[in-house]
Amino acid sequence: MPTHANSPTIRLGTPTDFPHIDRFDPFAGDRQIELAQNRVFVAVIDDLVIGYTTFTNPGFIGHPFINYLAVGQPHRRQGVATGLLHTATSHLGPARIFASTEDNNAEMLAFFDKEKWTHAGTIQGVNKDGSAECFFYYDIRQA
C-alpha cells in the first residue's frame, strides 16, 4: 500500500470529484457522466482524488467491464491501482469481469499479469494510433 503517512480512502465518486480527476485524467472525454451515474470509485488522500476507476454493468457482451483505471503520476506504484481494482471487482462480483488496454501499454499489461487477470484476446484495428486492444477477464466467485 502507499508509503504516504495517510493511506488512501477508496469510496464511490461524486460529481464534486470531477475537477480533481480532470487534472490527471489521461483518457478522452470526461468522467462527469460516470460520476453522475455512480459508476466511479476514487482513491482519496487528504481530500484530494489521486486515482479512479470507472465501470459499466453490464458492459461487455453482458459482463461487467472496467472502463478506465488511472492513478496520478506521483501516486503510482504504491498500491492505489490495486486497491481501486479490488474495490470495483468486489462491487461488481460475483461475475466474470472484463477490462482492456492497448498492446503498447506495458505498465497496464504488467499490472494485469501481476493481478492474475486472464488474457481473453486481442482486437486489431480499433485504436486510432494503430495499437491493438488486449482484453482480459477475472472471475469473482461467490463466497
CATH number at residue 31: 3.40.630.30
In-domain check, residue 13? yes
pLDDT of residue 114: 96
Rounded to an integer, the average pLDDT of 77-104 is 95
In 3-state terms, what secondary structure has residue 102? Answer: strand
Residue 43's pLDDT band, with cuts at 50, 70 and 90, is very high
In-domain check, residue 136? yes
In-domain check, residue 3? no
- Residue 1: pLDDT above 70? no
- The pTM of the full predicted model, rounded to 2 decimals, is 0.89
Domain count, the chain: 1
Q: Which domain holds residue 38?
A: 9-140
Percent of the chain with pLDDT over 90: 84
CB distance 111 to 76 below 8 Å: no
Rounded to an integer, the average pLDDT of 66-91 is 95
In-domain check, residue 1? no
Q: What is the DSSP letter of 46?
A: T
The C-alpha angle with vertex 137 and arms to 131 and 139, in degrees rounded to 5, equals 175
Rounded to an integer, the average pLDDT of 121-135 is 95
Spatial distance between the Cα atoms of 36 and 43, rounded to a whole number of angstroms: 17
pLDDT of residue 142: 67
Q: Partners of 139 in the beta sheet?
A: 96
In-domain check, residue 93? yes
Q: In this structure, what C-alpha cell is assigned to residue 112?
A: 494485469
Mean pLDDT across the chain, nearest whole number?
92
Q: In this structure, what C-alpha cell is assigned to residue 8?
A: 488512501
In-domain check, residue 2? no
